[in-house]
C-alpha cells in the first residue's frame, strides 16, 4: 500500500465515496484499480444487480422459509407502494408507525399512565437477539436525544440475574414492559416475561395492572393474547421482516419511547437514503457494494478470517455486538442456495470495541500479530460532548491508527529512531526486531458529521446491505437461521433432565457427566 500511495497522489480521491453526511475512505486497502474492476466483475457475474432488485421488489428471496425480505419497506415514505405476496405492505406499515407515534407520545407526555396513576419513568424491553440488540444499540447510540424522564432498560438473558438486577432499581408503579418477540415462542423471552409479570402483580397487588404495564411487539398475535396482552397494546410486524433486520419496525418501540417518534423517523429517513443509493448507484460508486466486495476480497482471496469493527465513539459501544448478529447470523452458512455444501469460506468473525480503549488492549495483535485482520474505523467529526480537546484527540488517534497500520515501520526507520534515542551496537540490534511493524494492514474509514438519527440510519442500512452483497456472491441465503434452531431444540430436551424430572435419553459421556455432576452438586449447594 505504501508504494501505491507514493505512486498515485490521487489515490484518496479515487478510492473514497461520499453519500450525504457519510464518507467511506477505502484507499487503505490492499487493492489496485484492477483488483476493484475484477471484484466488480465478480459481483456482476453473481447477478448482484438482479438480486438487489429482487429484494426491493418483495420477491421471496428467503427461499428456505418462503418469505420476502422487505426491511427496506419499513423505512420507505408513507406514500410508497411496495408489494409482498401481491399485497401493498405500506398501509400496514403506516398504521403501525402511527400506532407507535400515538403510544410513544402518550407515554412521554404522561397521558398514558400506570395502574396507580403515576407516569411511566422506566421502560424495560424484554427480548433477545434481533428483538434486543438493535434497540439496545440504537438507544445507546442516540442517548443525546433521549428523554430525561424515561429510562430504557434491556433484559435478554434467561439468566435471572439480568432481570433481577434490572428490576432491583425500578418502581413497579412507574415501569412499562415491552415484550418483544417476533415468534413469541422464544424460551428466554417468555420466561423473563412471566417473571416480570409476577413481579409486577406481586408488588402492585392487582392482576389488572398487567393490562396497563405490558405491551407486546410480535408477528404472532395468537400467542400475545394467550399471554394476556390486550390486543390494543400489541404492535404488529410481519414475517417479511427478519429478526436481525427488525429495529425499523415496532421492535424499535423502545427507541421511539426514548428519543421520540420524530427522531425515530429521522433514523428511518437516513436508512432510506442508503436504500435508494444501494438500489440506484452503479456498482463502482455503490458504498454497500464496495464494503461487501472488499470483505469478499479479504475472505476469499487473502484468507482473512476475522473483521474488526472499531467505532471511535463511545455511544457506538454496542455497534460491534449488533453487527455480530447481523453479519454472522446472516452469512454464517455452509450450504448454498441449491442445498450444496460450499467449498469456499463464507462469513468472517466480526468483533470489536470502541477506540481508543481497544488501542490499549488488542491493537498490538493488529499491528504486529501474524494474522491479516481487515478493520473498519468509524468516527463522528463533531462530538455531542465538546469538552476541551477530547474530540480532536479521539480523531487524531483514529486517523493515526489507520496510518500506522497501513505504513508500518521498516527496519531502517526503526533503526534511525533508536539511533536518535542514543542506542547503538548490541543494545540497538537486540531491540530492533521488536520495533519493526510490517504495515500493509487494511482498513476502511467511515466518517460522518455527527452521530445523529439520520447518520445512524444510514450506517446501519449500509452494513445490512453489505451483508446482503456478500450473501449474493457466496450464493447463500442471508435471511434464515437454522443453526440457531438446533441449540434451542436441544436445550428444550435437556431441561427436564436437569430438573431431575426425567432421566431422559442417553447423551454422550461428557454431556451425561455434566448433567450428573450438576444434579448432585446443585442439590448440595
Ligand atoms: O436466536 C435466534 C433468533 O431466532 C434470532 O434470529 C432472533 O432475532 C431471536 O432468536 C429472537 O427471536 P424472537 O424475536 O422470535 O423472540
Asked if residue 226 lies in contact with residue 208, where contact means CB atoms within 8 angstroms, the answer is: no
pLDDT reported for residue 504: 62
HSE at residue 85, side-chain half, CA atoms within 13 A, is 8
Ligand 1 pocket test: which of 65, 126, 130 has the largest number of ligand atoms within 8 Å of its C-beta?
A: 130
Quote the DSSP letter at residue 172: G
Give DSSP secondary structure letters for 109-128. TTSSB-TTSPBP-EEEEE--
Ligand 1 pocket test: which of 62, 69, 129, 187 has the largest number of ligand atoms within 8 Å of its C-beta?
A: 129
pTM, two decimals, is 0.97
CA of 523 to the centre of ligand 1 (A): 33
* Paired residues of 129 in beta bridges: none
Asked if residue 461 lies in contact with residue 76, where contact means CB atoms within 8 angstroms, the answer is: no
Q: How far, CA to CA in Å, does 115 sit from each of 171, 210, 228, 405, 441?
A: 12, 8, 16, 57, 58
DSSP-based helix, strand, coil % in the chain, nearest 5: 55, 10, 35
Find the largest Cα–Cα distance for the chain. 83
pLDDT reported for residue 490: 78
**Nearest alpha-carbon partner for 477 in 358, 348, 335:** 335
Cβ burial of 95 (10 Å; 0-12, 13-18, 19+) is exposed
Strand 22-25 to strand 16-19: parallel, antiparallel, or no bridges (unpaired)? antiparallel
Is residue 356 reached through a cis peptide bond, with omega within 30 degrees of 0 on the bond before it?
A: yes
Closest residue (by CA) to atom 9 of ligand 1? 129
Full strand arrangement of the beta sheet holding 443-448: 16-19, 22-25, 443-448, 375-380, 306-311, 349-351
* Paired residues of 119 in beta bridges: 113
Q: What is the pLDDT along the chain (525 residues), one digit of tens a residue?
A: 999 999 999 999 999 999 999 999 999 999 999 999 999 999 999 999 999 999 999 999 999 999 999 999 999 999 999 999 999 999 999 999 999 999 999 999 999 999 999 999 999 999 999 999 999 999 999 999 999 999 999 999 999 999 999 999 999 999 999 999 999 999 999 999 999 999 999 999 999 999 999 999 999 999 998 888 989 999 999 999 999 999 999 999 999 999 999 999 999 999 999 999 999 999 999 999 999 999 999 999 999 999 999 999 999 999 999 999 999 999 999 999 999 999 999 999 999 999 999 999 999 999 999 999 999 999 999 999 999 999 999 999 999 999 999 999 999 999 999 999 999 999 999 999 999 999 999 999 999 999 999 999 999 999 999 999 999 999 999 999 999 888 777 777 888 888 888 776 689 999 999 999 999 999 898
**Is 183's C-beta closer than 6 angstroms to any atom of ligand 1?**
yes
pLDDT reported for residue 487: 76
CA of 129 to the centre of ligand 1 (A): 5
**Is 186's C-beta closer than 6 angstroms to any atom of ligand 1?**
yes
* Residue linked to cell 505504501: 2
**Is 244's C-beta closer than 6 angstroms to any atom of ligand 1?**
yes
Amino acid at each position: 500500500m505504501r508504494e501505491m500511495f507514493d505512486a498515485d497522489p490521487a489515490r484518496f480521491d479515487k478510492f473514497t465515496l461520499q453519500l450525504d453526511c457519510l464518507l467511506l475512505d477505502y484507499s487503505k486497502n490492499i487493492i489496485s484499480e484492477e483488483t476493484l474492476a475484477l471484484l466488480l466483475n465478480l459481483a456482476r457475474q453473481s447477478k448482484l444487480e438482479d438480486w438487489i432488485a429482487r429484494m426491493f421488489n418483495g420477491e421471496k428471496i428467503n427461499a428456505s422459509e418462503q418469505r420476502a425480505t422487505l426491511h427496506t419497506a419499513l423505512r420507505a415514505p408513507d406514500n410508497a407502494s411496495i408489494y409482498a405476496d401481491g399485497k401493498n405492505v405500506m398501509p400496514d406499515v403506516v398504521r403501525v408507525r402511527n400506532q407507535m407515534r400515538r403510544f410513544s407520545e402518550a407515554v412521554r407526555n404522561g397521558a398514558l399512565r400506570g395502574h396507580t396513576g403515576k407516569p411511566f419513568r422506566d421502560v424495560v424491553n424484554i427480548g433477545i437477539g434481533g428483538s434486543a440488540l438493535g434497540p439496545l444499540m440504537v438507544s445507546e447510540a442516540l442517548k443525546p436525544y433521549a428523554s430525561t424522564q424515561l429510562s430504557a432498560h434491556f433484559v435478554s438473558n434467561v439468566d435471572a440475574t439480568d432481570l433481577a438486577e434490572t428490576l432491583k432499581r425500578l418502581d413497579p408503579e412507574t415501569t412499562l414492559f415491552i415484550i418483544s418477540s417476533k415468534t413469541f415462542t422464544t424460551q428466554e423471552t417468555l420466561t423473563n416475561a412471566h417473571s416480570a409479570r409476577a413481579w409486577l402483580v406481586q408488588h402492585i397487588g392487582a392482576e389488572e395492572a398487567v393490562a396497563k404495564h405490558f405491551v407486546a411487539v410480535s408477528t404472532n398475535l395468537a400467542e400475545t393474547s394467550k399471554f394476556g396482552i390486550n390486543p390494543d397494546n400489541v404492535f404488529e410486524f410481519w414475517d417479511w421482516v427478519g429478526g436481525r433486520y427488525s429495529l425499523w419496525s415496532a421492535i424499535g418501540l423502545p427507541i421511539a419511547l426514548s428519543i421520540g417518534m420524530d427522531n425515530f423517523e429521522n433514523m428511518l429517513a437516513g436508512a432510506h437514503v442508503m436504500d435508494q443509493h444501494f438500489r440506484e448507484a452503479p456498482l463502482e460508486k455503490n458504498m454497500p457494494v464496495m464494503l461487501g466486495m472488499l470483505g469478499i476480497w479479504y475472505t476469499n482471496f487473502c484468507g482473512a478470517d476475522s473483521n474488526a469493527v472499531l467505532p471511535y465513539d463511545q455511544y457506538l459501544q454496542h455497534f460491534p455486538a449488533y453487527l455480530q448478529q447481523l453479519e454472522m447470523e446472516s452469512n454464517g452458512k455452509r450450504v448454498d442456495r441449491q442445498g450444496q455444501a460450499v467449498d469456499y469460506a463464507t462469513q468472517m468473525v466480526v468483533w470489536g470495541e470502541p477506540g481508543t480503549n481497544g488501542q490499549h488492549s488488542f491493537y498490538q495483535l493488529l499491528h504486529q500479530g501474524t494474522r491479516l485482520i481487515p478493520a473498519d474505523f468509524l468516527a463522528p467529526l463533531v462530538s455531542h460532548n465538546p469538552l476541551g480537546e477530547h474530540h480532536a484527540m479521539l480523531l487524531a488517534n483514529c486517523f493515526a491508527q489507520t496510518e500506522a497500520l497501513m505504513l508500518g515501520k521498516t527496519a531502517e526507520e526503526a533503526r534511525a529512531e533508536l539511533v536518535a534515542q542514543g542506542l547503538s551496537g548490541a543494545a540497538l540490534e537486540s531491540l530492533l526486531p521488536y520495533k519493526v511493524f510490517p504495515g500493509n494492514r487494511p482498513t476502511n474509514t467511515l466518517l460522518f458529521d455527527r452521530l445523529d438519527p439520520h447518520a445512524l440510519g444510514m450506517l446501519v442500512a449500509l452494513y445490512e446491505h453489505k451483508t446482503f452483497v456478500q450473501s449474493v456472491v457466496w450464493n447463500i441465503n442471508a435471511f434464515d437461521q437454522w443453526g440457531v434452531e438446533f441449540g434451542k431444540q436441544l436445550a428444550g430436551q435437556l431441561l427436564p433432565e436437569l430438573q431431575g424430572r426425567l432421566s431422559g435419553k442417553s447423551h454422550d459421556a461428557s454431556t451425561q457427566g455434566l448433567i450428573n455432576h450438576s444434579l448432585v452438586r446443585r442439590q448440595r449447594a
